[in-house]
Structure 1
């Protein structure tokens, strides 16, 4: 992780935390609810993940980024993008609106942009603020590793609470022998089943990584097609258009128009507001973790 005298901005992948929190608790078959019947298991789990990261990494500023819907510029480029995903569970859907209210009560901006994903909002904010601050990205999505640089670290949440892998350029190279931008080229070749784009059919992660390590990027691979085995060359030539499209789909946009002033992101808790919100949600225990007095 970056170490300096700069202030630190934590960018939270809200969608990743919500889905992780929901499924981690729903797996037991028990869904936490208020007396009125509102499901709150994802909100409760989200706060556990989120506040643990705040305590561990001590950011001075926080923003939380969200997807707005299924239609984005990527679905315009490739209609099947994320087309394999099922609808969110019924018990999760009402919790999305409530977690936005919870973030509001914490004074944390909820950031999104029509036609873009949370990843693009995170990439844009990281790009804007990392010149003057250390930026940390909290997510479970390895696609975000393309954002790693000297002032942006990506915190990948691993199984269990408080278990993280923090990626810097050095740790990324040590673990994967890849530069951050090469993450995009690997995805272009192998595709992404979770996002439902194929890359080059027949090329898996192992071959994709090997090709990128040897030839640096897609351009380097295409310039050296004659040096490749006939099987690999034929696969690439057959799916050349999809290779280029998959690369576009895999690339996080870092120039989205966003309204987010850094002063609005400073983490300054209004204890009365927080206590009121968590009392309404019947989650006073969260106030205890946060050191917020319940009146």
Structure 2
């Protein structure tokens, strides 16, 4: 019996990517009702191109549910460097979910968690019996790579992908996908606004992980580090431990989705009706 192939879609990553690819030139595709639709249109194009490429049996879209998550409770400055979303994008947050609903794709999210956490939770749930593909532009999700879990990274344009499996990641990085959490804990993340260990970059962090295996082992053996490295860790001991919590995708969010409700079998007439309502063009050829 052929395994299910489940496509978990990082909705926020696709939506933001689609928005900024056209917004930089001021092209917002405002329809006759005055509603900008560029992000939703691009999202749908990314999604349909991916489903045509990977032929999933099931599709689920995962979303952030507000900007405040448990990570903000752990660290007040988490993502504090990010401004409010552009006004042209705001009405498209709800609109995109209307479109996925019209495509019979379940929308999944949990207040207090990020889309990544929902994806990790669902990937763990399905990977025992299904092949899981995660569609995203966010390399942080590479930590979820596992047997039966693959990550499809969007590249520039449409239909261009970098497909990762766990073995490829280990061959390239020399560490396991799970160790990526501790790599990020040491390096920090400027996008998410946490510093890790100041002065420790990817090259040094990778070297230490390969030598010691885990962050705990590194911290237990600070005397074996160079004097400069030891000083950096000692100055940021609390932060590196906190950064590990911030970097790890939480795979126990309170989300679930019965796969019977996620079978990818669009009603073309219903979808085309929604596209016409939004005044979308050039999508009928890929649906």
TM category (shorter chain) comes to: over 0.9
Q: Aligned equivalents of 1:258 and 1:30: distance in 2?
A: 36
Matched, 1:110 2:114: no
Unaligned runs of 5+ in 2: none
Partner of 2:138: 141
Show the counterpart of 2:56: 59
Secondary structure at the residue paired with 2:88? coil
1:284 Cα shift? Answer: 4.1
Query: Which region of structure 1 is more displaced relative to structure 2, 32-41 or 114-123?
Result: 32-41
Per-residue CA distance 1:77-104 (angstroms, 9 max, x = gap): 1111111001111111101110000000
2-side partners of 1:27 and 1:263: how far apart? Answer: 40
Distance 1:27 1:110 in 2: 28
CA-CA distance at 1:207 after TM superposition: 1.4
Equivalent pair of 1:275/1:284 in contact (CA under 8 Å)? no
Q: For residues 97-176 of structure 1, what are the structure 2 equivalents within 5 Å? A: 97-176=94-173
| Aligned-pair Cα RMSD in Å | 1.2
- Say if 1:81 and 1:196, in contact at 8 Å, map to a contact too: yes
Structure 1 unpaired stretches of 5+? 291-295
Q: 1:277 aligns with which of 260, 263, 274?
A: 274
User: Residues 245-256 of structure 1: matches in 2 within 5 Å?
Assistant: 245-256=242-253
CA distance in 2, matches of 1:160, 1:224: 46
Is 2:209 the counterpart of 1:190? Answer: no
Runs of 4+ in 1 over 3 A off after TM superposition: none
Other structure's SS at 1:154 match: strand
**Mapping 1:223-242, distance limit 5 Å:** 223-242=220-239
1:170 deviation in Å?
Answer: 1.2
Kindly indicate whether the alpha-carbon contact (under 8 Å) linking 1:155 and 1:165 is maintained by their aligned counterparts in 2. Answer: yes
TM-score (norm 2): 0.97
2 CA distance for matches of 1:264 and 1:137? 18
91-100 or 277-286, larger mean C-alpha shift? 277-286
1:206 has 2:172 as partner: no
* 1:21–1:41 contact (8 Å) kept in structure 2: yes
Structure 1 range deviating more: 105-114 or 210-219:
210-219
